[in-house]
Amino acid sequence: MSSFFGNSSKQAAPAAAPKILPAVFNHPSYKLEGDKLVRKPNVPPPKNIKEREAEDETIIKELARYVEAKIISDYGFVSIDVPEEEGIEISTSILASSDCETATKLLVIIQNQPGCQLGIFSRTICFESGLNAGTMLNFIQKARDRRYAIMILRPNKNSVEVIGSDKKVKKTIIPRSESPENHVLYVWENIITHLSQVSHISLLGYGLGASLCKDLLLRQMVRSKDKRERNNIKAFITVEGACINTAQGSQIIESDDGADVKKILKEIAVNLEGNTERFGTPLHEREKKLGVTTISLGLFPGKTYVDNIALSYSMAEDSVLKCLMLSETSPNLSKVFRETMEKENNIITTKREDGDAPEEAPKSRMSLMLGSVASMFRGSPKKDDERMLTVDDFELLKVVGKGAFGKVMLVRKKGIIIINIINIIIIIITIIIYYYRFCNRSW
């Protein structure tokens, strides 16, 4: 593999590298005071919505440029083109710390919210609470202090605008990054798996990035079987994570996952969420829906409820670092992290999820149908028999496609054949009844 990080040989130093200048925030209307964005003196605010929208667009572009430049200049990162192949002119990029080829511990960060920028959690939070809360900068510094090599992917950059020969702007798809899934899998197969010194990989997904983390875990499990490679993924950490949205809510462990996938996620997966429950409390109801250990981060200072999940990203910094530390010594991260959080925060739990009484199973379509048939003889149906359809009312036939926001599945409504058969039987019985009534009248 050609080195993406320059000359990594210990005998020879890299050729004279260009000097990296400190990152400077440069915007006509705003400046940085500490980590706060403030409007410059004598610069009037926008007069109308159109001017406001135009200013907002320039601010987010400059903020994105500044954060990326600061990650490179302050924390020793390099920008890697994706794809880096001859003959391909259009590309996106990822950021990687320059020690990725020599480090043994690697943290892969994936954020996949619509419209998000690399390294930025929320522009709104950057204005309201500062860049330490609204960006990854503070967390990156902490992780680097603990000697983690870091790779930050850019899965939602899938196209660029180019000027064609007719001088019209056209949107052009980026090869190997046509979708978020293609992007992360290309980086995994062509960059991460070639880092021979890495023996401990941690996946960190923000929001919908959890889905892409799971794609990488599944790919590595396949590689482990096919190529007899060791699975070096030791931690699967998500903040406000979700892999697929269903009628029952978001999930990380899905019903069609194999037993081996469910087992490893039960052992190494931890989800952190902002919640009105005190910090460190296991969120049993969320665990039932997501399928993995879920711990409360509490509420952001000054808040009485969760009004912006991006606040959880900065709130989770120390908890994520604790997960990383525990994953280095414990093969069952989920259990150990949960117990550690309960002990350190004096959390007294009642029954664990495993000890809870099982919830009443939703009535099957067959029982509802039989209830409807019975109602023909006993009067109007009971309200208890009326309910909205859920995912349990359908049988999964196959997965048609998979995207950043979930899966497209071909399903069949359970019991539909039985319902049709019973309907036919009812029709036949009705015909027989009318036949005998007719015959009785004729004779």
The answer to whether the CB of 252 falls within 8 A of the CB of 291 is yes
Burial class of residue 141 in the structure, from the number of CB atoms within 10 Å of its CB (0-12 exposed, 13-18 middle, 19+ buried): middle
Whether 172 shows a pLDDT value over 70: the answer reads: yes
Q: Check if the beta carbon of residue 251 is closer than 8 Å to that of residue 316.
A: no
Residue 17 lies in a domain: no
Asked whether residue 106 is assigned to any structural domain, the reply reads yes
User: What pLDDT is attached to residue 12?
Assistant: 40
Q: Specify if 142 maps to a domain.
A: yes
Q: Are both 165 and 230 inside the same structural domain? A: yes
If asked whether residues 46 and 151 sit together in one domain, one would say yes
Token pair in block for residue 328 = 């280095």
List the domain range (segments joined by +) for residue 383. Answer: 365-442
The answer to whether residues 332 and 394 belong to one domain is no
Q: Distances from the Cα of 439 to the Cαs of 33, 427, 432, in angstroms? A: 96, 18, 10
Q: Is the pLDDT of residue 176 over 70?
A: yes
Average pLDDT, the chain: 81
Judge whether 150 and 105 are in contact, CB under 8 Å: no
> Do 332 and 406 fall within a single domain?
no
Kindly report which listed range (141-145, 157-161, 305-309) carries the lowest average pLDDT score. Answer: 305-309
- pLDDT tens figures, 378-395: 444 444 444 556 656 666
pLDDT tens sequence across 77-93: 999 999 988 788 889 99
pLDDT at 350: 61
- Give Cβ neighbours of residue 20 (< 8 Å, ≥ 6 apart): 72, 73
CA dist 194 and 191 (Å) reads 5
Q: What percent of the chain has pLDDT over 70?
A: 72
Q: Given a cut of 50, is residue 335 above it in pLDDT?
A: yes
Regarding whether 379 and 326 lie in a shared domain, the answer is: no
Q: How confident is the model at residue 215 (pLDDT cuts 50, 70, 90)?
A: very high
Q: Percentage of the chain with pLDDT > 90? A: 54
How distant is the alpha carbon of residue 354 from its chain centre?
26
Within a domain: residue 55?
yes
pLDDT at site 116:
86
* The CA-based dihedral angle spanning residues 174, 179, 184, 186, taken in that order and rounded to the nearest 10 degrees: -50
If you average pLDDT over each of 137-146, 253-262, 427-436, which comes out highest? 137-146
104-156 pLDDT per residue, tens? 999 999 998 878 899 999 988 999 999 999 999 999 999 999 999 999 999 99
Question: Is the pLDDT at 20 greater than 80, yes or no?
Answer: no
Q: DSSP labels for 10-72?
A: SSSPPS-PPPPPPP----SSEEEETTEEEEPTT-PPPSSHHHHHHHHHHHHHHHHHHHHHHHH
Residue 215 domain flag: yes
Comparing 300 with 184, which gets the higher pLDDT?
184
* C-beta of residue 324 within 8 angstroms of C-beta of residue 337: no
Region of poorest pLDDT, from 56-65, 73-82, 124-133, 236-245: 236-245
Tell me the C-alpha distance between 110 and 402, whole Å: 17
Asked if the structure places residue 22 within a domain, the reply is: no
Domain-ending residue, one of 354, 386, 408:
354
Q: Give the mean pLDDT of 205-219.
A: 93
pLDDT the model gives residue 168: 83
What pLDDT score does 60 carry? 92
Q: Residue 359's pLDDT is what? A: 43
Q: What does pTM read for this prediction?
A: 0.75
* Res 414: pLDDT: 65
pLDDT tens for residues 359-371?
434 444 444 444 4
Verify that 333 and 414 share a domain, yes or no.
Answer: no
Q: Give yes or no: residues 208 and 96 share one domain.
A: yes
What's the CA gap between 208 and 92, in Å, rounded? 20
Confidence tier at 399 by pLDDT (50, 70, 90): low
Residues 350 and 203 in one domain: yes
Per-residue pLDDT for 262 more than 80?
yes
What per-residue confidence (pLDDT) applies to 70? 96
Same domain? 66 vs 107: yes
Q: How confident is the model at residue 242 (pLDDT cuts 50, 70, 90)?
A: low
Q: Does pLDDT of 174 surpass 70?
A: yes
| Distance of alpha carbon 188 from alpha carbon 219, whole angstroms | 9
pLDDT of residue 387: 54
Please tell me the total count of domains within the chain.
Answer: 2
293 and 420: one domain? no
pLDDT value at residue 8: 40
DSSP state of 179: S
Distance CA 263, CA 291 (A): 11
Are 290 and 266 in contact by the 8 Å Cβ rule? The answer is no
Cα within 13 Å of Cα(337), Cβ side: 31
Cα separation of 22 and 352, whole Å?
Answer: 50
Number of Cβ within 10 Å of residue 402's Cβ equals: 15
- Domain-terminating residue out of 354, 384, 402: 354
User: Which of 286-290, 350-354, 422-426 reaches the highest mean pLDDT?
Assistant: 286-290
Contacts of 47 (CB under 8 A, 6+ apart): none
* Burial class, 121, CB count within 10 angstroms (exposed 0-12 / middle 13-18 / buried 19+): buried
Using the 3D structure, point to which of 297, 330, 354 is the last residue of a domain.
354
Tell me: do 281 and 176 sit in the same domain.
Answer: yes
C-alpha distances in Å from residue 398, one per residue of 57, 234, 256, 294, 314: 42, 30, 10, 29, 38
User: d(Cα 107, Cα 204) in Å, to the nearest integer?
Assistant: 7
What is d(CA 142, CA 342) in angstroms, rounded to the nearest whole number? 23
Identify whether residues 343 and 431 lie together within a single domain.
no
Examine residue 20 and state whether it is found in any structural domain, yes or no: no
- Given this model, what pLDDT does residue 248 score? 42
Beta bridge partners, 107, equal 150, 202
* CATH number of the domain that residue 234 is part of: 3.40.50.1820
Strands (E), 247-299: 249-251, 269-273, 293-296
> The tokens 């099982």 sit on which residue?
358
